Amino acid sequence: MDEEAAPFLDSCRRIGPDVEFGRARYYPLSHEGRSILLVRSGIGLVNAASAATTAIAASEPRAVLSAGSAGGLRQDVEVGDLAVGDSYTFTDADATAFGYERGQVPGMPVDYAPHGGLLDAARRLVPEDGTHHVGQMLAGGSFVTQSNVKDTREAFPHAVTTDMETTAIAQVCTSHHVPFLSVRGVSDLCGPAADQDFHMSVEIVARRSADAVLAVIRATDGVPA
């Protein structure tokens, strides 16, 4: 969303005109001497996969990082927390009738892994301390809400967050052998307890996500080890 792209535009210098292609907008940026292509994909798996494919074909990036907001799933997650994905799975893919695992698209892996160097950098920069979580991230074509969160939690008991883009981008990056990592801020709780706040402004969590992503880029110097 525009709100999720805004922190990058505020922190980086534009080095060329932005381009709109399909549903996505592409911003050539520079941050501390490093070139970054910011992609605002639009919401949803297809928009995300399409934008990621175009960006990879056009720019041959050293790595792709997914930033923005997500819904919190695990009971210890609170709004405002930061999540780093150590695996990525589709929430609502279900071909179990044919022997596949829940979340697995037929013919594809059960889940997708981040690049080890990027994940290690994120672990050092955003340690798990109760407000930062490292774990499984989900993505699907439906919002997970109070009405359907029970099924999602039962199927993926260790999942930290869910959104509508991350796993699609991870699949594209895996197919093209491009290092990937997702770092997202929790803006909503999919099934909050009675004493939990359930919503925080997207602008706030997007800033936290963007700051963490830029820190990972800085730590790896844009080239995963």
CB–CB of 77/190 below 8 Å? no
- Report the SS3 class of residue 124: helix
Active site residue 188: yes
DSSP 105: P
Q: What domains lie within the chain, and their CATH numbers? A: 63-220 (3.40.50.1580)
Residue whose structure tokens are 């639009």: 42
Q: Which of 69-73, 139-143, 181-185 has the lowest mean pLDDT?
A: 139-143
DSSP 112: B
Q: What is the pLDDT of residues 149-207, one digit of tens each?
A: 888 999 999 999 999 999 999 999 999 999 999 999 999 988 776 556 678 889 999 99
- Report the C-alpha gap between 55 and 27 in whole angstroms: 11
DSSP 98: G
- Report the C-alpha gap between 56 and 43 in whole angstroms: 19
Q: Which of 4, 92, 111, 163 is catalytic?
A: 4
Q: Which of 86, 92, 165, 188 is catalytic?
A: 188
| 70 half-sphere exposure, CB direction, 13 A CA radius | 33
CB–CB of 12/31 below 8 Å? yes
| 223 half-sphere exposure, CB direction, 13 A CA radius | 0
Active site residue 163: no
Q: Which of 67-81, 138-152, 156-170 has the lowest mean pLDDT?
A: 138-152
The pLDDT score that the predictor gives to residue 127 is: 73
The amino acid at residue 120 is: D
- Report the SS3 class of residue 67: strand
Q: Would the pLDDT of 40 be above 60? A: yes
The amino acid at residue 90 is: F
Q: Which of 90, 78, 87 is nearest to 205 (CA)?
A: 78
